Structure 1
Amino acid sequence: MARSTSFPVRWRSPLRGPWFTSALGVVLLAGITVLFVTGLLSYAAYNPDLSPVNDKTPDKGLLGFYLFSWPTGPYWLYRLTQGVHVTLGITLVPVLLAKLWSVVPRLFQLPPARSVAHALERISLLLLVGGALFEFTTGVLNVQLDYVFPGSFYPLHFYGAWVFFAAFVAHAVLKVPAALRNLRGLREDEGLPRERAGQLRAPHPDPPTVSRRGALWLVGGGALLLFGTSAGRSFDGPLRRTAVLTPHGGADPGSGPGGFQINKTAAYVGVTARETSGEAWRLVVTGRTGIVRLSRAELLALDLHSSALPIACVEGWSTSDQWWRGVRLRDVAQLVGYDADTAPDVLVESLQSHGAFRRAALRTNQVRDARSLLALEVNGEPLTLDHGYPARVIVPGAPGVLNTKWVARMTFGEL
């Protein structure tokens, strides 16, 4: 079909063209690859092989081939990988939207399918575009704690990522060589064959008001603006207050020993001061030799140790290192028949009455790490109720949701 009839006449921007689309595509090629890898690392950090406790994604089958025991060192590992994942995802939003805008006329070209191969290409584009919009939208909503989508975020984002990335890889294999040719030694679209340039360039464009390089600067400026208003949640001091687009990043957590970020308050999850009082609360520890019940006073009478560790959450925010003091998890395991070298996995249960992680499991390497604590104090003072009083778990390198607050029961052994 002739160029003038195959390109929808209502799309007349002079900015569209192979050079502009290729420049955006190369940025997304690198950025989305990093997003996919860091996303898989985040999923591995949740110990999804400890099913059905931590695993919120059933029937993953072959998609779980890469899973491994998440390490406890370096202790800031999850803070780094998830901070990169979320911050980069937000930063790439203007680039993604500009890329979709630059190629949207192709979605409306006629005829819709000129051959079987062309029809398959159009279907793959729908998976690519739909997958990109789905992944970025659910990711941003998760960061904003706005769960308007049906079902659990974990399986939706996980399966969506595989569908999107498969389409992305297929598209990259087909298009990257052409994209590099478009960029190499070309200024705008000069030197491109007419039929190749015409796939993206309007046949009768409106007069230009800005150059394509100017448009790229505009997209880059938008990305930098999003970066500058979200990255600060991973840092401390004045930079944290610049994170105005994220719920936890820029919020003022107050001052004092408990003056650091909180994901969910005690009131939000239904934990009351009455059930955490000294008269009511007992930690129930179960293991090889039976059951032990301990009051907070009895825990404080055990050997206490300190660790300087941050909290890092899947939403991408993190705290600075806080000084935690409590009983080592491997020492808790000793109370029910294990020594430091044989301490097994542990199931930790919280007092909270609702939420996805009322129960969380920790792997053997996490339990045996000398820095892993059942924390009773933070920064020299007893835990506040919102920070998990009377006792909470803190483990180096673990996602925040696995650092269970308001611990009620710990069960050591095969899960």
Structure 2
Amino acid sequence: MKLPDIKEPEFKAPAHHVGVTSRVGTWLGIAFGLCFVTGLISHGVQHDWPWPTRPVNLYRITQGVHVISGVASIPLLLAKLWSVYPKLFERPLVKSVPHALERGSIFVLLGASFFELVTGLFNAAQNYPWSFYFPTAHYAVAWIAIGSMLVHIAVKIPVVRRTLEPRSEERTVLSRRAFLRTTALTTGVAVVATAGVTVPWLRKVSVLAWRSGSTLPVNRTAKAANVVVPANWRLKAGDRSFSLAELRAMPQTTVELPIACVEGWSQNATWTGVRVRDLVSGGDVRVESLERDGLYRATTLPEAFAQDPLTLLALELDGEELSPDHGFPCRLIAPNRPGVLQTKWVTSLEVTA
């Protein structure tokens, strides 16, 4: 008995039009590209890549763009997925080598993209419900995501170019434009609702922004770091040592610098303390903390930063003595550095090169 022919499903909704897919894909490619490049910068800065001390807000901007472009990618990725999912029902599954590459790149791209965006959001919230080390995994999968995206673009570039031409026969009609407008609006709302973490003038309207209050946030408290300041604490600086009273008696410098965290939030603060170059000089400086088991308990301050007049061993924050959570008795503050490298609870400065 002959079985009845099974018709493949037809998808004629405006959202599934190739012109819509091309436009949303272009927006997603821009957002992903920005997120990848700025993430690469952040990774490099934390792993001793050459990085300037000026402008003082450069890392704040690049990391802010990284997080904001990641947030923007979420609704764009969902819209793109909704637009292309009918392709999953196409038969035959593989038509040619380019088609096989396209399908494979889409599968890898979707998996890597969702991994990056979901783990990135959890990282921004400082919530880690997994056993792997986030920075290493996030960095590695970012290369997989960008590689698969480039393969996908290479396969699809003829279609994208054709559909984006002003006189294309596949020009988007009103209903398709409505879907695009909705996607753009949703993306804009997501950005505005969260961008207050890094854009100060948006903080009053960024209802979903994390860590955007008027006081300087704290990622790791003294209690969480198991830091206990001994009564006889002294700062070791090269072959010299200083008590807290001796540091306060030295010439004090006041600067306004931001703390720019890898999670995306940033905030300006006024810092007062002793210039690092007045304590040690002559090369890169290893900065060690009273913290014993933190991943960033010790950092290296490149010579350019150590000699910069804005780099301080801060004793005060906004005119008041540092609290334990902000790094008492003293902490490092330098221009254009990630927050994780602004060591708190400093106990020694040692020239290494």
Scaled by the length of structure 2, what TM-score is found?
Answer: 0.90
- Give the C-alpha shift of residue 215 in structure 1: 1.4
Deviation sequence 1:59-81 (CA, Å, 0-9, x none): xxxxxxxxx41111000101111
Q: Is the 8 A contact 2:259 2:266 kept in 1?
A: yes
Deviation sequence 1:234-272 (CA, Å, 0-9, x none): 2446x32433324312xx35xxxxx3222222222222x
Looking at structure 1, the residues matched to 321 and 19 of structure 2 have their Cα atoms a distance apart, in angstroms, of 60
- The residue that corresponds to 2:236 in the other structure is 284
- The residue that corresponds to 1:316 in the other structure is 264
Work out which of the residue numbers 142, 161, 177 in structure 1 matches 2:123: 142
Deviation sequence 1:187-207 (CA, Å, 0-9, x none): 78369xxxxxxxxxxxxxxxx
Query: Letter of the aligned partner of 1:222 in structure 2?
Result: T
Looking at structure 2, the residues matched to 6 and 362 of structure 1 have their Cα atoms a distance apart, in angstroms, of 67
- The residue that corresponds to 1:162 in the other structure is 143
Q: Is the 8 A contact 1:7 1:106 kept in 2?
A: no
- The residue that corresponds to 1:30 in the other structure is 30
- The residue that corresponds to 1:44 in the other structure is 44
- The residue that corresponds to 1:245 in the other structure is 208
1:15-94 alignment, distance < 5 Å:
15-46=15-46, 48-49=47-48, 68-94=49-75
Which segment drifts farther, 181-190 or 154-163?
Answer: 181-190
Runs of 4+ with deviation above 6 angstroms: none
Deviation sequence 1:70-129 (CA, Å, 0-9, x none): 111000101111111101211221111100121122234333323444333322222222
Q: Is the 8 A contact 1:138 1:149 kept in 2?
A: no
Q: How many residues align?
A: 349
- Give the C-alpha shift of residue 186 in structure 1: 5.3
- Give the C-alpha shift of residue 399 in structure 1: 0.4
* Structure 2 residue ranges without an equivalent (≥5): none
Looking at structure 2, the residues matched to 163 and 332 of structure 1 have their Cα atoms a distance apart, in angstroms, of 45
Deviation sequence 1:300-322 (CA, Å, 0-9, x none): 122222221111011111002x2
Q: Is the 8 A contact 1:19 1:188 kept in 2?
A: no
Looking at structure 1, the residues matched to 7 and 235 of structure 2 have their Cα atoms a distance apart, in angstroms, of 69
Q: Secondary structure at the match of 1:94?
A: helix
Q: Secondary structure at the match of 1:211?
A: helix
Looking at structure 2, the residues matched to 95 and 301 of structure 1 have their Cα atoms a distance apart, in angstroms, of 56
Work out which of the residue numbers 216, 223, 242 in structure 2 matches 1:267: 223
- The residue that corresponds to 2:277 in the other structure is 330
Q: Secondary structure at the match of 1:356?
A: coil
Does structure 1 residue 293 correspond to structure 2 residue 232? no
Q: Secondary structure at the match of 2:92?
A: coil
Identity %: 39
Does structure 1 residue 362 correspond to structure 2 residue 315? no
Q: Structure 1 residues 12, 156: closer, same or farther in 2, change over 3 A?
A: same
Query: Letter of the aligned partner of 1:141 in structure 2?
Result: F
Query: Letter of the aligned partner of 2:24 in structure 1?
Result: L
- The residue that corresponds to 1:413 in the other structure is 352
Q: Secondary structure at the match of 1:267?
A: coil
Q: Is the 8 A contact 1:6 1:109 kept in 2?
A: no
Q: Is the 8 A contact 1:328 1:373 kept in 2?
A: yes
Q: Structure 1 residues 298, 188: closer, same or farther in 2, change over 3 A?
A: farther
- Give the C-alpha shift of residue 30 in structure 1: 1.9
Query: Letter of the aligned partner of 1:265 in structure 2?
Result: T
- Give the C-alpha shift of residue 11 in structure 1: 5.8
Looking at structure 1, the residues matched to 181 and 23 of structure 2 have their Cα atoms a distance apart, in angstroms, of 11
Deviation sequence 1:360-384 (CA, Å, 0-9, x none): 2221111111111111112222111
Does structure 1 residue 390 correspond to structure 2 residue 329? yes
Q: Structure 1 residues 371, 156: closer, same or farther in 2, change over 3 A?
A: same
Looking at structure 1, the residues matched to 6 and 253 of structure 2 have their Cα atoms a distance apart, in angstroms, of 71
Query: Letter of the aligned partner of 1:114 in structure 2?
Result: K
* Structure 1 residue ranges without an equivalent (≥5): 50-67, 192-209, 254-258
Q: Structure 1 residues 7, 264: closer, same or farther in 2, change over 3 A?
A: farther
1:87-236 alignment, distance < 5 Å:
87-185=68-166, 189=170, 211-236=175-200
Deviation sequence 1:132-159 (CA, Å, 0-9, x none): 1122122112111121233111111111
Deviation sequence 1:10-59 (CA, Å, 0-9, x none): 8664521101101101112222222221111111221x14xxxxxxxxxx
RMSD: 2.5
- The residue that corresponds to 1:196 in the other structure is none
- Give the C-alpha shift of residue 353 in structure 1: 4.3
Looking at structure 2, the residues matched to 108 and 315 of structure 1 have their Cα atoms a distance apart, in angstroms, of 39
Query: Letter of the aligned partner of 2:242 in structure 1?
Result: L
